[in-house]
Amino acid sequence: MKIRNNIAISDSGFVFDSNNGESFTLNKIGLEILQMLKNSRTEEEITQKIVKKYDVDIETFEQNYFDFVGMLRHFNLFENESF
């Protein structure tokens, strides 16, 4: 699972897809996760980091993470994956 190279992420939570000119906004946690994904962190690493930093249990976060990644996929931000 790798974020495409032509996805630009600004520090303020603004994402630009130079392929098609579409742009997105993220909340703070969304931005952190996207940046970690961009740096090729695994789901496990990301979960550990978030759960340590924020007041959330692993189960809730995993559900939310799954949903978030689903949206990134829906918006076509990952490199082509083979299922």
Partner 1 sequence: MKKLKYERPIINKIQSGMPDKFGMSTRVQTISDVEGIPVVNIIKNYGSPTFVLSEQTIRDTYQEAREAFTTRYPKVQFAWSYKTNYLNAVCKIFHSEGSWAEVVSGFEYDKAIDNGVKGAHIIFNGPDKSDEYLAKSIENDSFIHIDHFDEFYSLIRIAAKSSKKAKVAIRVNMDTGIYPQWDRFGFNYENGDAWNVLNKIMLSKDLELVGLHTHIGTYILTPNAYGVAASKLAELAVRVYRKFNYVISYIDMGGGFASKNTLKGAYLPGKDTCPTFDDYAESITNALINSEIQPENLPTLILETGRALIDDAGYLVGTVLANKRLVSSRRATIIDIGVNLLFTSFWYEHEVYPVKEVSEQTEDTTIYGPLCMNIDVIREVIKFPLLQKGDPVIIPRVGAYNMTQWMQFITLRPNIILIDTSKNIHVIREEETNEVFSRQEKLPEHLS
Task: Give the binding site for partner 1 (CB under 8 A).
Answer: 15, 22-30, 32-34, 52-56, 60-61, 64-65, 67-68, 70-72, 74-75
> Quick one: residue 76, left, alpha or beta (phi over 0 = left, psi -120 to 50 = alpha)?
left
Rg (CA), the chain: 13
Distance of closest approach, residue 41 Cβ to partner 1, in angstroms: 14
Distance of closest approach, residue 33 Cβ to partner 1, in angstroms: 5
* Residue 40 or 70 with smaller CB distance to partner 1: 70
**Residue 53: strand, helix, or coil:** helix
